[in-house]
Structure 1
Amino acid sequence: MLRKSISGSKYSAGQKTDSFGCPFDKLYKDQSLQGADISFFRKGTRENRIEQVVTPASDRGFAIGISTLAGHTRRIFHEHHSTTHAFEENSLYIRNLAEPYRADLIGAFDMLLLEISPASLRKIAEEADFSGVAMLDAETASIDPVLANLVRALIPALERPEEASKLFVDQLATAIGTHLVQRYGGKIQPPLSRSRKLSRAHEALAKNLLLENLDGDISILDVSRACNLSRGYFIRAFRETTGVTPYQWLLNERIMRARELLKGSEAPLSEVAIACGFADQSHFTRVFTNVVGTTPGHWRRNA
Structure 2
Amino acid sequence: MRKSTTPFEKPADASTDSFGCSLEKLSTNQTLRGAGLTVLRKGVREGLSQQVSTEASNRGFVIGVSTLPGHTRRIFHEHHATTHVFEQDSVYIRSLDERYKADLRNAFDFLLFEISPAALATIAEEADLRAVSVLNTITGHPDPVLANLARALIPALENPEQASRLFVDQLTTAIGTHVIQKYGHRTAASGTRARKLSRAQENVAKSIILDNLHGNVSIAELARACNLSRGYFIHAFRETTGMTPYQWLLRERIARARTLLLETDVAISEIAISCGFSDQSHFTRVFVNLVGTTPGIWRRNA
Q: State the TM-score, normalized to the length of structure 2.
A: 0.91
**Is contact 1:29–1:43 with CA below 8 Å preserved after alignment?**
yes
**Is contact 2:128–2:191 with CA below 8 Å preserved after alignment?**
no
| 2:49 aligned counterpart, secondary structure | strand
With over 3 angstroms needed to count, the CA separation of the structure-2 counterparts of 1:162 and 1:302, relative to structure 1, is farther
Cα deviation, residue 160, structure 1: 2.1
Larger Rg over CA atoms: 2
> Structure 1 CA distance, aligned partners of 2:134 and 2:225?
30
> Structure 2 CA distance, aligned partners of 1:163 and 1:290?
20
> Structure 1 CA distance, aligned partners of 2:192 and 2:130?
15
1:89 aligned onto 2:88: yes
- Per the alignment, residue 25 of structure 2 pairs with 26
Counterpart code for 1:259 = R
With over 3 angstroms needed to count, the CA separation of the structure-2 counterparts of 1:152 and 1:133, relative to structure 1, is same
Q: Which moved more, 1:242-251 or 1:144-153?
A: 144-153
Query: For residues 60-108 of structure 1, what are the alpha-carbon distances to aligned partners after superposition, in whole Å with 9 as ceiling and x for unaligned?
Result: 1111100011111110001111000111111000010000111011111
> Structure 1 CA distance, aligned partners of 2:161 and 2:279?
10
Q: Which moved more, 1:190-199 or 1:163-172?
A: 190-199
- Per the alignment, residue 208 of structure 1 pairs with 207
| 1:232 aligned counterpart, secondary structure | helix
| 1:172 aligned counterpart, secondary structure | helix
1:55 aligned onto 2:46: no
**Is contact 1:127–1:233 with CA below 8 Å preserved after alignment?**
yes
Structure 2 portions without partners, runs of 5+? 1-12
- Per the alignment, residue 188 of structure 1 pairs with 187
- Per the alignment, residue 7 of structure 1 pairs with none
Counterpart code for 2:160 = P
> Structure 2 CA distance, aligned partners of 1:293 and 1:85?
46
> Structure 2 CA distance, aligned partners of 1:133 and 1:283?
38
| 1:24 aligned counterpart, secondary structure | coil
> Structure 1 CA distance, aligned partners of 2:278 and 2:48?
39
Query: For residues 155-185 of structure 1, what are the alpha-carbon distances to aligned partners after superposition, in whole Å with 9 as ceiling and x for unaligned?
Result: 1111222321001000111111111112211
Cα deviation, residue 294, structure 1: 4.1
Q: State the TM-score, normalized to the length of structure 1.
A: 0.90
Counterpart code for 1:258 = A
Cα deviation, residue 49, structure 1: 3.5
| 1:64 aligned counterpart, secondary structure | strand
Cα deviation, residue 118, structure 1: 2.1
| 1:26 aligned counterpart, secondary structure | coil
**Is contact 1:147–1:179 with CA below 8 Å preserved after alignment?**
yes
> Structure 2 CA distance, aligned partners of 1:155 and 1:16?
25
Counterpart code for 1:269 = I
**Is contact 2:180–2:187 with CA below 8 Å preserved after alignment?**
no
Query: For residues 264-287 of structure 1, what are the alpha-carbon distances to aligned partners after superposition, in whole Å with 9 as ceiling and x for unaligned?
Result: 100122331232122344443444
- Per the alignment, residue 298 of structure 1 pairs with 297
Query: For residues 120-144 of structure 1, what are the alpha-carbon distances to aligned partners after superposition, in whole Å with 9 as ceiling and x for unaligned?
Result: 2222122122342111110110111
Q: How much is the aligned-residue C-alpha RMSD, in angstroms?
A: 1.6
> Structure 2 CA distance, aligned partners of 1:285 and 1:55?
46
- Per the alignment, residue 39 of structure 2 pairs with 40
Query: For residues 252-302 of structure 1, what are the alpha-carbon distances to aligned partners after superposition, in whole Å with 9 as ceiling and x for unaligned?
Result: 110111111111100122331232122344443444345445443333233
Structure 1 portions without partners, runs of 5+? 1-13
Cα deviation, residue 238, structure 1: 0.9
1:108 aligned onto 2:110: no
- Per the alignment, residue 70 of structure 1 pairs with 69
1:15 aligned onto 2:14: yes
> Structure 2 CA distance, aligned partners of 1:295 and 1:213?
24
- Per the alignment, residue 257 of structure 2 pairs with 258
**Is contact 2:130–2:189 with CA below 8 Å preserved after alignment?**
no
> Structure 2 CA distance, aligned partners of 1:72 and 1:301?
51
**Is contact 1:49–1:104 with CA below 8 Å preserved after alignment?**
no
Counterpart code for 1:128 = A
Query: For residues 217-252 of structure 1, what are the alpha-carbon distances to aligned partners after superposition, in whole Å with 9 as ceiling and x for unaligned?
Result: 100000011111111111111111111101001111
**Is contact 2:19–2:54 with CA below 8 Å preserved after alignment?**
yes
Counterpart code for 1:185 = G
**Count, aligned residues:** 290
